[in-house]
Amino acid sequence: MGLDRYLNKKKKILKNKFGTEDKGLLREIEANYTALRLREIALSPLPGDYDYAHFCAIHQYLFQDIYAWSGAPRMMDICKPEKVLGGKSVDYAPHREIPALAAAAITRMTSIDWAALSFEEQVSRFAACVAELWKVHAFRDGNTRTVVQFCAQYADHVEMPLDRSVFYEHSCAFREALVLFTAVLTHFGDYSDREPLLALMRQAFRQGQEDAESLWDA
């Protein structure tokens, strides 16, 4: 994959605005600052046209405190060995194709008439849209959180309430579900399993609907 321009070469840690070379401390800093930004953006959604530029703007907002490259697509190819795939990696997008592939995934999502679908159709198609955008892996770090925020905000926008806390409270299971959903590997075959992501998406939609109904009943 070549030289990783994002890493401190000596410590093998992402270069960051705090200058820390302690991986544990960086994880803590990132968790704290992004949690704050996620709370802010949940209360006051970031305006935009639900396109690639809007997607990048959400990444910039979430990670502005931590990385100088927040909001910019990654400039290198990546692979991430996954335990659930026996050490193999999802086929993430080549970095030069990120803008086109991310824009295409977003357009597919925003072109669907969601109101015309049944509940199970919404679950299935929204899961596929989220997974397609996630597989692009547009950013060097923070990809999953950005995809969740962008897609959940879009779901709210089209009056399809979704409880994003399901994904954050089950973050490890959610990421593993995304890996499995997208695990059709060019050189190794089809390892995919759609069910884990569909189950989480179904739960998120049900809880979102229940929350919306409770507000109307209050």
Residue 215 pLDDT level (bands cut at 50, 70, 90): low
Q: Report the number of distinct structural domains present in the chain.
A: 1
Residue 18 within a domain = no
Residue 105 within a domain = yes
Residue 16 within a domain = no
pLDDT at 1 over 70: no
Residue 34 within a domain = no
Residue 26 within a domain = no
pLDDT at 216 over 70: no
Residue 134 pLDDT level (bands cut at 50, 70, 90): very high
Provide the domain limits for residue 91: 45-217
pLDDT at 218 over 90: no
Residue 217 pLDDT level (bands cut at 50, 70, 90): low
pLDDT at 48 over 90: yes
Q: Residue 108 sits in a domain of what CATH number? A: 1.10.3290.10
Residue 8 within a domain = no
Q: Which two tokens stand for residue 204?
A: 């998120």
